[in-house]
Amino acid sequence: MSRLRVRPAPPDAAGVVLDVTPQSAGWSHVGFRVLKLSAGATYAACEPARETCVVVLAGTADITAGGETFAAVGGRLRVFDDTPPGAVYVPPQTEFRIEASGDAEIALCTAPGASGFSPRLIPGEAMTREVRGAGANTRHVRNILPQDAPAHSLLVVEVLTPGGHWSSYPPHKHDTAGEGETALEETYYHRLDPPQGFAFQRVYTDDRSLDETVSVEDGDVVMVPRGYHPVGAPFGYDLYYLNVMAGPKREWRFRNDPAHDWIVKPKPAGG
C-alpha cells in the first residue's frame, strides 16, 4: 500500500468516511475530510485556527455558520453532473453545522486561517470554468475557491478528466518558494465513473527521492507533499477529483517537468 494513498472507510458515528489531517499527512497546511450523511443527519464543528471550505459534492444540505443559515446548498446528484457543487466558506473560530436534506457527500477542506473574513455562500455562478490541455490532455476545471476569492490560505478546485485522457499533465510541481513556483501541499480526492474503475497517479521529485505510482480507486485520496503529480484515466472510466491546496503563500504558481515541457511548447516554424 502506498504511503500517499488514503482509502475511505464506512461512515463513523459522525458520518466521516475519510480524514486527512496535517498530523496524519506529516505536513503543515492541508486538511481534508469527507462526510456521507443521510437525510436529516447533522455534523457540527468549529476550527479554532483553521478556515474551512464546505463543499457539497453531491446532494443538498442546510449549512449554518456564525449564526447565518445558507439553505439548500448544493443540489447536483453526483460529482459527474455538469453543474457546480454547493460551497460555503467558514473562517476560523466560527461554529458551523451541516444538516443533510437527503443522502449527501460533503468535503471539508481546511487550512490555517486568519481573522478578517466572514462566513459566505460561494454561488455556482462565481465558480469559473475552463478547459485545459488539448487532445488526450483535455480536462475540464471548475474553480471553487481560487486565489482571487477571499480566503487566507485555502485553494479549492475540481477537475473532470474524460476516460483515456491525462490530467495534471505535463507533470508539474509547486513545492519550492521562488523560481516561478509557490510551495503548496495538495490532496486529490478521486471518484470514478463507473465506480469499479481505477486510475493512476505518479508522484515524483527531480532526484527521485520520492517516486511512487499509485493505483487509485473510487473514493481514494492521494497526498502530494512535493514533486510532480500527473494523473491518467483509462479508457471507459471518467475521473473526477477535488483538489485542496495550501501553503505559506496563497498563490498557485507551478513548474512543468523540464523533460516533458516540450509537449505544450509551440513547434518551431517549418519543423
Tens of pLDDT along 157-177? 999 999 999 999 999 999 998
For the chain, percent of residues with pLDDT exceeding 70: 98
Cell of 157: 478546485
Residue type (1 letter), 230: P
Q: Give, in order, the Cα–Cα distances in Å from 267 to each of 118, 131, 271.
A: 48, 21, 7
**How high is the pLDDT of residue 70?**
98
Residue 1: pLDDT over 90: no
Q: Residue 149: left (phi > 0), alpha (psi -120 to 50), or beta?
A: beta
Residue 2: pLDDT over 90: no
Residue 259: pLDDT over 70: yes
CA distance 47 to 92: 6
For the chain, percent of residues with pLDDT exceeding 90: 94
Answer whether CATH 3.40.50.720 is correct for domain 5-261.
no
Domain extent listing, the chain: 5-261
Instruction: Look over the chain and give the mean of its residue pLDDT values, rounded to a whole number.
Output: 96
CA distance 143 to 145: 6
Is pTM beyond 0.85 here? Answer: yes
| pLDDT grade for 179, boundaries at 50, 70 and 90 | confident
**How high is the pLDDT of residue 268?**
62
Residue 266: pLDDT over 80: no
Q: What is the mean pLDDT of residues 203-231?
A: 98
Q: What is the mean pLDDT of residues 240-265?
A: 95
